[in-house]
Structure 1
Amino acid sequence: MYQSLQSFIEEYRLESASTQKVLDALTDASLKQEVAPGYRTLGQLAWHLVHNDEGMLLGAGLKFEAPAANGEPPTSASEIAEAYRKVTAALLQALESQWSDASLLEKNNMYGQVWPNGLTLYIYLKHEIHHRGQLTVLMRQAGLQVPGVYGPSKEEWASMGVEAPV
């Protein structure tokens, strides 16, 4: 749980930059990739990160512009990546203008439980990280080069002339 709004903002800036890097590597053709029939496609999963499960943050009282959660995702990878860029900026601006450290202690009903906003932000960020990991697996299945997130990817190691550790 976050005790300081600034600590969340700093961590979110780092994590969202990594998510942006992953989204920027998608192609239009890759958006149809699915892990198995009946599961989210790469495009649906990427779009889920764009609309940022805004219900979680709206439920905590934060107001910012984000695409509606319902409906089909765009068929353009660059449109998804650009939408994420805009939503991330709007989210950060909303946090800086609407909340303070005291806001992190305010409690809201989330999914039948009572969460302080500091916990909501923590879970929100972990939710994004979880789905970003799913994206990278689907990217591999779609034949895309996966950008490094917490270190170099296999291809990035190779471009440095180093064999990737196993």
Structure 2
Amino acid sequence: MYVTIQSFVDEYRNESEFTQKLLNALTDDSLKQEVAPGFRTIGHLAWHLVPSGGILTPTGLKFEAPPEHSNAPASASVIAKSYHAASQAIIEAVRTQWKDDQLQESVTIFGEQWKNGYTLSMFLRHEIHHRGQLTVLMRQAGVPVTGIYGPTKEEWIGIGMEAPL
């Protein structure tokens, strides 16, 4: 749970850069990749990563974002640009609309009382969770995956080292 605005801003800025790298690597063709027939595609999952109201709506934060539950665009660059704009808008909204003490205020989310600082934490964890799913689909689609918390196999090889198994 976040107890200062700056701690959220710093962590979300860092994590959103990782997400942005992955989204920037997508191609229009890769958006059609499914994990299995009838399951989410890369395009659907990538669009789901673009912040919208979601769990942040009950907190009262206001920011520019695509409409929640809108259909995923067929363009990877539109998804990447939309993510960039919405993630920056969230940072700006948190910085300008809240003070540190408001992170301790509670609102009802999923029938439970969540402090705003906890909600921001869950928002970020949700993104990280789906980002992990996205990397698996990217590999299946043949899209290069960049390392996030460490090098990928290809990055290990690129620096002249044997990739650990």
TM superposition score normalised by structure 1 = 0.96
- Aligned pairs (5 A) from 1:38-117: 38-50=38-50, 52-117=51-116
Q: Which amino acid aligns with 2:2?
A: Y
Code of the residue aligned with 1:133 in structure 2: it is: G
Q: Distance in 2 between matches of 1:15 and 1:146?
A: 15
Unaligned runs of 5+ in 2: none
Shift of residue 71, structure 1, vs aligned partner: 2.8
Q: Partner letter of residue 19 of structure 2?
A: T
**CA offsets per residue over residues 117-160 of structure 1, 9 Å max, x none?**
01100100000000000000000010111011001111111111
How many angstroms apart in 2 are the aligned matches of 1:153 and 1:54?
32
Identity of aligned residues (%): 58
Does the 8 A contact of 2:73 with 2:79 survive in 1?
yes
Amino acid at match of 1:136: T
Summarize deviations over 1:74-94 as a string: whole Å, max 9, x none.
Answer: 111011001101011111111
SS at match of 2:47: helix
Which amino acid is 1:89 matched to? Q
CA distance, structure 2, for counterparts of residue 15 and residue 93 of structure 1: 15
> What residue is the counterpart of 2:2 in the other structure?
2
2: distance between equivalents of 1:162 and 1:140? 21
- After TM superposition, the runs of 4+ consecutive aligned structure 1 residues lying more than 3 A away are none
* Equivalence for 1:27: 27
Q: CA RMSD in A?
A: 0.9
Task: Report if aligned partners of 2:52, 2:65 keep a CA contact under 8 Å in 1.
Answer: no
> Unaligned stretches of 5+ in structure 1?
none
Determine the structure 1 residue equivalent to 2:135.
136
Matching residue's letter, 1:113? E
Matched residue SS, 1:163: coil
The residue number in structure 2 matching 1:163 is 162
Paired residue secondary structure (1:108) = strand
TM-score scaled by structure 2? Answer: 0.97
Once the 2 structures are TM-superposed, how far is the Cα of residue 53 of structure 1 from its aligned partner?
4.6
Residue 127 (structure 1) aligns with = 126
**Count of aligned pairs:** 165
* Deviates further, 36-45 or 75-84: 36-45
